[in-house]
Amino acid sequence: MKAIVIEQYGGKEQLTEKEVPTPAPGDDQILIEIYATSINPIDWKLREGYLKEMLRFEFPIILGWDTAGIVKEVGSKDSNFKVGDKVFSRPATTNRGTYAEYVVADESLVAKMPDNLDFGEAASVPLTGLTAWQCLFDFGEIKEGDKVLIHAGAGGVGTMAIQLAKNAGAYVATTASVKNIEFLKSIGADEVVNYKTTDFEDVLQDYDFVLDALGGEIQKKSFNVLKEGGRLASIVSRPDEETADEKGVKAGFVWLEPNGEQLGQLGKLIEQGQVKTHVGHTFDFSEEGLRKAHEISESHHAKGKIVINIKR
């Protein structure tokens, strides 16, 4: 099968096309013919070698951990899936990712694709949608009436988190630059703080929950907008435990656990029209397409998701 791989860590020029063997599903696994994948910052962080201690992968590495496609083969006899089903998944983090024509995914990480999405839209959902879900509901235990701050609202995780929090009945504030203010209000943000002109800690107080997608100073300042008993989930770096104790809040680092059941629940919300995905950039499945896609993601200013169409 055709794949775009890296043979060593480095810049985006490392992304090169290669013929590799098509994988075969083991028991409880599914072979998916990939129609689309999407880009996430983990892709270029891994490409650069920033995650090499944490994820000790052998080369060549096929990057990409989001997929939508059609079931081609089913490993177990009593599977919930059959050949021909349209599915989407955030497969396990292995060196056989989704910049490829086929991927094998554990059945427990796969869900039926929402009827109202095309493959590109569906591929844009799993990684960011599950991250937002696990931060808000598993870690943050947010509930109706909670005041929730989502940093980097215009990004992949942010657009999902704003909608999921709003759908759960929360009051939602977010941070973004001026060009994204109207967009974020249109998807449910009650308040958008322009981070270029306003310091969010000057205007937001007594929050129940913060999703930190930026780290550093922004994470430190986020403690100041929380009320006692509040929660801070960071998806970029481990928050300081001493500060959390001093402030009387729960703070932690959330690392996404792929989960087909939660993805199915998210898919239902999408089918009901309660959550939408926002694809801001689309590229073809080629070295050039992937390199441009990485460049946009690395700029830290992608709007919504970046999708790669693999098969039409």
Which residue has 């630059």 as its token pair?
177
Nearer of residues 249 and 256 to ligand NAP, judged by Cβ: 256
Nearer of residues 177 and 205 to ligand NAP, judged by Cβ: 177
Q: At its nearest, how many Å lie between ligand NAP and the CB of residue 69?
A: 21
Cα–Cα distance for residue pair 107/28, rounded to 1 Å: 6
Q: At its nearest, how many Å lie between ligand NAP and the CB of residue 289?
A: 17
Nearer of residues 32 and 214 to ligand NAP, judged by Cβ: 214
* Closest residue to ligand NAP using C-beta atoms: 155
C-alpha distances out from residue 187 to 7, 149, 213, 278, 312, Å? 40, 15, 18, 10, 28
Residues within the interface to ligand NAP (CB under 6 A): 40-42, 128, 131, 151-152, 154-158, 175-177, 180, 195, 213-214, 235-236, 254-256, 297, 300-303
Q: At its nearest, how many Å lie between ligand NAP and the CB of residue 31?
A: 25
Nearer of residues 64 and 156 to ligand NAP, judged by Cβ: 156
Q: At its nearest, how many Å lie between ligand NAP and the CB of residue 39?
A: 9
Nearer of residues 33 and 66 to ligand NAP, judged by Cβ: 66
Nearer of residues 46 and 71 to ligand NAP, judged by Cβ: 46
Instruction: Collect all residues with Cβ–Cβ distance below 8 Å to 53 and sequence separation of at least 6.
Output: none
Instruction: Collect all residues with Cβ–Cβ distance below 8 Å to 77 and sequence separation of at least 6.
Output: none
Cα–Cα distance for residue pair 135/210, rounded to 1 Å: 9
Cα–Cα distance for residue pair 215/76, rounded to 1 Å: 42
Burial 57-83 (b: 16+ CB within 10 A, else e): beebbbbbbbbbbbbbbbbeeebebee
Nearer of residues 69 and 155 to ligand NAP, judged by Cβ: 155
Q: At its nearest, how many Å lie between ligand NAP and the CB of residue 168?
A: 19
Q: At its nearest, how many Å lie between ligand NAP and the CB of residue 127?
A: 6
Q: At its nearest, how many Å lie between ligand NAP and the CB of residue 82?
A: 31
Q: At its nearest, how many Å lie between ligand NAP and the CB of residue 77?
A: 33
Nearer of residues 17 and 261 to ligand NAP, judged by Cβ: 261
Instruction: Collect all residues with Cβ–Cβ distance below 8 Å to 22 and sequence separation of at least 6.
Output: 1, 31, 101, 102
